[in-house]
Amino acid sequence: MPLRLYSKFTHSVRWFLLHRLPTCKQMAAVMSESMERPLSLRERVLLKLHLWVCVWCVWYLEQLHIMRDAVRLRASKTEDDEPSPDSLSTEARERIRLALNRSDQ
């Protein structure tokens, strides 16, 4: 019985918060900004509460972190490293540039 009462209470609190917090669209902008600048106390609290009630935004934030880490990893590779299979040689880049110039004319 106490577990059921606790479950009802948490459901009620989440429902209450869900209808009074900013929307997912507004929180998505805050999540993106959080990667560029420190959030204010108000923004942090609203984001934490929103993430507590919205699993979709939790997934979205996880995806943002994955993308950021992938971009940082890619950017950390130096020019001295072996070229990756998806990088083009200088000759291939020149052929593409010439072909594009020919098609523009």
pLDDT digits (tens, 9 = 90+) for 61-105: 999 999 999 988 888 875 556 656 667 788 888 998 888 888 776
Residue 60 domain boundaries: 2-74
Q: Does any domain span residue 10?
A: yes
Residue 93 lies in a domain: no
Whether residue 23 contacts residue 47, with contact meaning beta carbons closer than 8 Å, is answered with no
pLDDT above 60 (res 54)? yes
| Pairwise CA distance, residues 10 & 13, whole Å | 5
| Number of domains comprising the chain | 1
Q: pLDDT band at 18, cuts 50/70/90?
A: confident
User: Is residue 97 a part of any domain in this protein?
Assistant: no
Looking at residue 82, its pLDDT comes to 61
